[in-house]
Amino acid sequence: MTPPRHHLPDVAEMYRAFLERDSRYDGIFLTGVTTTGIFCRPSCPARKPARENVRFFATAAAAEAGGFRACLRCRPLDPAGLPPEGIRRLVEACDANPALRLRDRDLRARGLDPATVRRWFRRHHGVTFHAWQRARRLGGAIAELGRGGGITGAAFGSGYDSLSGFTDALRKLTGRPPSASRDAVVVHVDRILTPLGPMVAGVLGEAVCLLEFTDRRMLPTQLRTLEDRLGCVFVPGETPASRKLALELDAWFDGDLQGFSTPIRMAGTPFQEAAWAELLRIPRGTTRSYAEQAAALGRPSAVRAVARANGANRIAIVVPCHRVVGSDGRLRGYGGGVARKRALLALEGWEAP
C-alpha cells in the first residue's frame, strides 16, 4: 500500500488532531518527537509532547530520513488497524475452521490474554471476541440451512452442543426459529485496511452494500438504516465480493484503477439512489459543486437535498461523494472527515483552486 500523495493540512490542524488522537488523520500525516526520536501516527495512545518538540511528516520514509524510529505502540509502518500477530493467527484459525469455538482458557493456551483479545475485538469489530465467533458460526449455520441442510446438522456443524442453545442463539440474531431462518437476509461484514484507515465493508450476496471508515460517527446509524431497508442481519466474515473490493481498493489507492467493478447495491430512497447514481458519473480526478449535481439530476433547486443524499451515501469511495465540493471549491463536509476527503481528492490528482 502506498501512502496517498497529498499536501499536509496546516500545522495547527495537525497538532490538534495529534492531541485529540483523531484516527481520521491516520495515513494523512505522521509526527516525530524530537526529545525521543520516535515517530507516531496521530491516533497513538502515547502521552502527547509539547508543540515545540513535534515535527510533522507526510510519509514514514520522510520521518525515517529525518532520523526518527517507528513507535512500537502505534506501529506507523503497518497499515492502521492491522491486528497484532497473535490476533491475526486467531482469526486465521477461525477462518480455517468455522465451527471452532474458543473459550478464554483456549486463548490463554495460545499465549493470548483474553482481556487484550476482548479489547481489540470491541474496538475493531464493536463486539467481544466470543460474540464475534458466535455470530460467524450462526452465519455459517444460516448458510447451511439456506442450502437445504437439516437443523441438527447446522447446529452441530457450527459448534453448538445443544439444539436449544442453537435455537436460542439463532432467534436472538434473526428473530426467527431455525426453520424460518433459512431465508434470513445475511449481510457479511468484513474489515478492509486502507492507507487512510480501516473500513468496514458489507456484502449482500455478490454486491457491496456498505463501505465506510470504521471511525465514522454515523456508522451505527448507517447499519440500522441498512437493517431496516434490507431486513437483514449482520454476520462477520469474508466473502468473494469483499476480497475483490479489497484488491480493487488497493489498486485504486495506488492510482492503478479508474473505477470499481465490484457490483454494488445502493438500497436508498428513489431520490437517494438517483443522486448516488449521478455521483458514479463524476470521473476520477474531477469535482462538481452541489448545485451542478442538483442540476444534473434535473432538480436545480434541490441543492440541500443533494447534499443530504451525499451525506447518506453508504458506499464511500466507490460511490464517490468525495468528488462533490462547494461552488467556491471548498470541501465542506465529509462523513469520514474533511482531511480524508482532501486526501482522496489529492490522490486523484485534483488540486484545490
- Binding interface with Zn ion (CB under 5 A): 40, 44, 46, 71, 73-74
Catalytic residue selected from 40, 44, 94, 209: 40
Q: Are 237 and 188 in contact (CB under 8 A)?
A: yes
Spatial separation of the C-alpha atoms in residues 314 and 332, rounded to whole Å: 18
Residues 6+ apart with CB under 8 A from 246: 190, 192, 201
Assess whether 321 carries a catalytic annotation: yes
Number of neighbouring beta carbons within 10 Å of residue 63: 24
27 backbone φψ class: left, alpha, beta (φ>0; ψ -120 to 50):
left
Q: Please provide the size of the chain in residues.
A: 353
Spatial separation of the C-alpha atoms in residues 322 and 339, rounded to whole Å: 11
35: burial class by Cβ within 10 Å (0-12, 13-18, 19+)?
exposed
Give least dist CB 117 to Zn ion, A.
21
SS3 letters for 254-266? Answer: CCCCCCCCCCECC
Whose CA is closest to 99, among 136, 129, 132?
136
Assess whether 40 carries a catalytic annotation: yes
Spatial separation of the C-alpha atoms in residues 237 and 140, rounded to whole Å: 9
In DSSP terms, which residues pair with 54 in a beta bridge? 33
Max CA-CA distance within the chain? Answer: 67
Q: Are 346 and 7 in contact (CB under 8 A)?
A: yes
Q: What is the dihedral of CA 100, 104, 110, 115, to 10 degrees?
A: 120
Q: Which residues are catalytic?
A: 40, 321
